[in-house]
């Protein structure tokens, strides 16, 4: 039993109350513990708010700073100036979307203020400005009808097409003459967020079109669902989601307000799965190897979807162009090719632009193909017309596999080299313009001087040995009296072919820097062989004294080069005999991996680009 006067317990309670800090101080004291979640940090856009909203630590730039929180979704915010407190109830529906409700400004400085948020309070949506796009929920090709409140525009079907990035879609709206408010326009949709609430699915995206100049014009919210329907494209094409229609409603501004069902919105749409433009396959000899590369490896061509789609990507693997086979027209009439060729009309997609292109594929070897492409057009029937495709003018793209076969080099024997870099020296001797870089000019002179004086030998004392040490190897060597013979550059031979009297040979440099080309195309014209027949790749020894004019290219086997005159490297070679006529007293060769060989190869490489 407690002793003391009966009023003592009341005195203790009073003293405790006096010692406790006031509620306002308690709220401010908890400010250091009130931080917005790290995943909310960043810059946001909200419709109707002019400046960018920034959330950093405990600060909400347009509202104030957080001084108390509870349940991870309710935050007491104090305005920086003035006696104003608000409670914000914030929910993150997606990494890129925050939604919140709030109270009016009040002098109540406790979390009890949050009880004033009612269920019918206005819902605000904020969209992350640096959002990472995500795949759109509508994949493939669709046709659709739309309604902007003035009736269904279904006289002509509008279309939705995929872009090369799966986070983008292209919508082509058709105008209906009998529907007010319908118009012919093109919009590009970038998908940023998706989430589900109950039975409804939501999408937030940015729309790009000619009249969209601000975020208020670009951000839009969508609600959608799926329901069984008959494909407008006709048939099912064996696809799992054929016969599925999407009902979609779009907001009229940069909010998600008023979107309660897919049938109510500023604009409603019904999407139907459409037939894919892929109706054929690329040549079977292309699918033998899954990946093809340009000579410089800056582009990769890959076949997908059971040989119906050609994907063209850059060196980082980013898709740049997608071509779907639409029609095979067979061999190209009058095409000059030692192997097979086939003409195809393809449906291309570059970014969000699409249409048709005429392409011809040539099989040069099991590991080498070439491609010609015409002009791009929106109409299928115009793709291979003379105005869009001219086989005599369309450039060639040479493609090789990652590991082409090594083959015997053409024209085995010993050759002297002349005219090497002659064009470069003439260009350097020409008068310099006022915009010439004097520093670069000095570097060029030093590089060429070093090349010219390899081991003290003039550059003119350079020879070419083809198939002497190995049947599949070409070696450039420098000679200087009785000094050691050094290998300046060496190449392994792969496939070769002839076209209109010009020969093409794919090679790989045996030692190259990380900056060097992966493959080279040697383009040459030659005189008669011993048999009196025109020289072709793989032909035998040439007549003594016969001359071959060479040019090289590091990106493709260009038809515009003049052998011996233009190209990355241009030179002439003259036959001086067979490999067996090399003197037995020839000094030993330097190993490909020796420091001297690597140094000389680097000098040769940089000299090619002057």
Q: Do 326 and 279 form a contact (C-beta atoms < 8 A)?
A: yes
The number of CA neighbours under 13 Å toward the Cβ of 279 is 13
How confident is residue 596, by pLDDT bands cut at 50, 70 and 90? very low
* Overall average pLDDT of the 55-64 stretch: 94
Shared domain for 253 and 367, answered yes or no, is no
Tell me the backbone φ, ψ of residue 388, rounded to 5 degrees: -110, -20
pLDDT of residue 241: 47
Shared domain for 172 and 266, answered yes or no, is yes
Chain length of the chain: 610
Shared domain for 378 and 410, answered yes or no, is no
pLDDT of residue 277: 81
Is the pLDDT higher at 538 or at 503?
Answer: 503
Sign of CA dihedral 9, 10, 11, 16: positive
Residue 328 falls inside a structural domain = yes
Q: Residues 182-231: pLDDT tens digits? A: 899 999 999 999 999 988 899 999 999 888 889 999 999 999 998 776 54
Give the domain range for residue 369: 284-401
SS3 state at 340: coil
Question: What six digits make up the tokens of 366?
Answer: 């099991």
In this structure, the strands spanning 200-208 and 142-147 are unpaired
Which pairs count as long-range contacts for 466-470, CB under 8 Å and 24+ apart, including other chains?
466/409, 466/410, 466/411, 466/412, 466/413, 466/415, 467/408, 467/409, 467/412, 467/413, 467/579, 468/412, 468/413, 468/414, 468/579, 468/582, 469/589
Last residue of a domain, one of 83, 103, 128: 128
pLDDT of residue 319: 82
Shared domain for 553 and 418, answered yes or no, is yes
Shared domain for 411 and 394, answered yes or no, is no
Is the pLDDT higher at 470 or at 325?
Answer: 325
Question: What six digits make up the tokens of 111?
Answer: 């979390």
How confident is residue 598, by pLDDT bands cut at 50, 70 and 90? very low
Q: Residues 366-415: pLDDT tens digits? A: 999 999 999 999 999 999 999 999 999 999 999 999 889 999 998 888 88
CB atoms inside a 10 Å sphere around CB 482: 7
| Planar angle of CA 448, 450, 454, nearest 5 degrees | 120
Residue 48 falls inside a structural domain = yes
Residue 28 falls inside a structural domain = no
Could you give the CA distance from residue 399 to residue 288 in angstroms, rounded to a whole number? 14
SS3 state at 571: strand
Q: What is the pTM of this model?
A: 0.73
pLDDT of residue 582: 53
The number of CA neighbours under 13 Å toward the Cβ of 417 is 25
**Helix or strand (DSSP H, E) at 531:** none
Residue 429 falls inside a structural domain = no
* Overall average pLDDT of the 30-56 stretch: 89
How confident is residue 422, by pLDDT bands cut at 50, 70 and 90? very low
The number of CA neighbours under 13 Å toward the Cβ of 440 is 9
Q: Do 406 and 428 form a contact (C-beta atoms < 8 A)?
A: no
Highest mean pLDDT: which range of 77-81, 131-135, 589-593: 131-135
Shared domain for 76 and 184, answered yes or no, is no
What contacts 4, CB < 8 A, 6 or more positions away?
none
Using the structure block, give the residue that is written with the tokens 């349940």: 71
Count how many domains the chain has: 4
Does the pLDDT value for residue 600 go beyond 50?
no
Sign of CA dihedral 574, 580, 583, 587: positive
Is the pLDDT higher at 242 or at 486?
Answer: 486
Last residue of a domain, one of 76, 105, 128: 128
Shared domain for 254 and 318, answered yes or no, is no
Shared domain for 184 and 329, answered yes or no, is no
Shared domain for 414 and 549, answered yes or no, is yes
Residue 431 falls inside a structural domain = no
Q: Do 398 and 521 form a contact (C-beta atoms < 8 A)?
A: yes
| Arithmetic mean of pLDDT over the chain | 79
Does the pLDDT value for residue 428 go beyond 60?
no
Shared domain for 101 and 250, answered yes or no, is no
Number of helices (H) and strands (E) in the chain: give both, helices first.
7, 32
Residue 538 falls inside a structural domain = no
Question: What six digits make up the tokens of 85?
Answer: 């407190």
pLDDT of residue 388: 96
CB atoms inside a 10 Å sphere around CB 254: 22
Could you give the CA distance from residue 291 to residue 412 in angstroms, rounded to a whole number? 32
Shared domain for 304 and 375, answered yes or no, is yes
Q: Residues 519-569: pLDDT tens digits? A: 899 999 876 544 444 444 444 455 566 788 888 888 999 999 888 888 877
How confident is residue 470, by pLDDT bands cut at 50, 70 and 90? confident
Shared domain for 263 and 302, answered yes or no, is no
Q: Residues 253-269: pLDDT tens digits? A: 999 998 989 999 999 99
Does the pLDDT value for residue 124 go beyond 60?
yes
Residue 552 falls inside a structural domain = yes
Could you give the CA distance from residue 431 to residue 178 in angstroms, rounded to a whole number? 69
How confident is residue 418, by pLDDT bands cut at 50, 70 and 90? confident
Percentage of residues of the chain with pLDDT beyond 90: 49
pLDDT of residue 483: 52
Using the structure block, give the residue that is written with the tokens 């070419």: 464
Min mean pLDDT across 153-157, 298-302, 428-432, 566-570 is at 428-432
Q: Residues 301-329: pLDDT tens digits? A: 999 888 999 999 988 888 889 999 999 99
- State the CATH number of the domain containing residue 376: 2.40.128
Does the pLDDT value for residue 137 go beyond 80?
yes
How confident is residue 120, by pLDDT bands cut at 50, 70 and 90? confident
Residue 536 falls inside a structural domain = no
How confident is residue 290, by pLDDT bands cut at 50, 70 and 90? confident
Could you give the CA distance from residue 206 to residue 192 in angstroms, rounded to a whole number? 7
């Amino acid at each position: 039993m407690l002793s003391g006067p009966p009023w003592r317990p009341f005195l203790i309670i009073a003293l405790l109350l006096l010692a406790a800090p006031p509620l306002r101080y308690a709220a401010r004291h908890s400010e250091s513990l009130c931080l917005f979640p790290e995943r909310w940090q960043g810059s946001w856009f909200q419709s109707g708010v002019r400046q960018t909203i920034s959330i950093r630590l405990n600060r909400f730039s347009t509202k104030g700073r957080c001084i108390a929180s509870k349940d991870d979704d309710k935050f007491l915010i104090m305005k920086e100036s003035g006696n104003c407190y608000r409670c914000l109830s914030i929910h993150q529906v997606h990494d890129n979307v925050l939604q919140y409700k709030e109270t009016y400004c009040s002098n109540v400085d406790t979390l009890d203020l949050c009880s004033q948020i009612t269920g019918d309070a206005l819902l605000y949506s904020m969209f992350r400005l640096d959002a990472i796009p995500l795949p759109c929920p509508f994949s493939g090709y669709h046709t659709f009808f739309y309604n902007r409140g003035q009736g269904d525009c279904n006289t002509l079907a509008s279309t939705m097409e995929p872009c090369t990035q799966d986070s983008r879609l292209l919508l082509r709206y058709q105008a209906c003459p009998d529907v007010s408010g319908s118009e012919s326009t093109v919009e590009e949709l970038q998908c940023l967020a998706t989430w589900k609430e109950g039975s409804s699915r939501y999408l937030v995206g940015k729309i790009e079109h000619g009249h969209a100049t601000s975020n208020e014009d670009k951000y839009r919210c969508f609600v959608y669902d799926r329901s069984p329907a008959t494909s407008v494209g006709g048939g099912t094409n064996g696809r799992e989601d054929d016969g599925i229609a999407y009902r979609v409603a779009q907001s009229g501004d940069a909010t998600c307000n008023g979107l309660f069902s897919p049938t109510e919105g500023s604009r409603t749409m019904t999407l139907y799965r459409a037939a894919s433009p892929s109706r054929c396959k690329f040549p079977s000899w292309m699918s033998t190897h899954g990946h093809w590369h340009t000579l410089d490896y800056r582009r990769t061509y890959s076949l997908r979807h059971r040989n119906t789609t050609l994907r063209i990507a850059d060196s980082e693997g980013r898709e740049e162009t997608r071509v779907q086979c639409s029609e095979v027209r067979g061999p190209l009439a009058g095409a000059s090719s030692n192997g097979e060729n086939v003409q195809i009309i393809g449906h291309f997609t570059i970014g969000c632009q699409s249409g048709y292109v005429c392409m011809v594929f040539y099989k040069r070897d099991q590991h080498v193909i070439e491609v010609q492409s015409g002009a791009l057009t929106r109409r299928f029937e115009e793709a291979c017309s003379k105005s869009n495709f001219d086989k005599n003018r369309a450039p060639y793209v040479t493609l090789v596999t990652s590991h082409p076969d090594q083959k015997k080099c053409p024209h085995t024997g010993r050759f002297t080299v002349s005219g090497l870099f002659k064009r470069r020296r003439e260009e350097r001797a020409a008068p310099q313009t006022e915009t010439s870089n004097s520093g670069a000019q000095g570097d060029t002179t030093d590089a060429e001087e070093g090349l010219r004086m390899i081991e003290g030998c003039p550059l003119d004392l350079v020879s070419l040995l083809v198939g002497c040490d190995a049947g599949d190897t070409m070696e450039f060597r420098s000679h200087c009296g009785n000094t050691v013979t050094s290998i300046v550059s060496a190449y392994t031979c792969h496939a070769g072919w002839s076209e209109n009297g010009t020969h093409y040979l794919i090679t790989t440099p045996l030692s190259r820097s990380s900056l060097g080309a992966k493959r080279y195309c040697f383009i040459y014209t030659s005189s008669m062989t011993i048999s009196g027949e025109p020289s072709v790749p793989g032909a035998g020894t040439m007549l003594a004294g016969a001359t071959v004019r060479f040019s090289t290219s590091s990106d493709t086997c260009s038809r515009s080069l003049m052998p011996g005159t233009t190209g990355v490297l241009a030179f002439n070679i003259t036959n001086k005999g067979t490999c067996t006529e090399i003197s037995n007293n020839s000094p030993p060769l330097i190993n490909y991996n020796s420091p001297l060989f690597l140094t000389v190869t680097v000098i040769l490489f940089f000299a090619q680009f002057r």
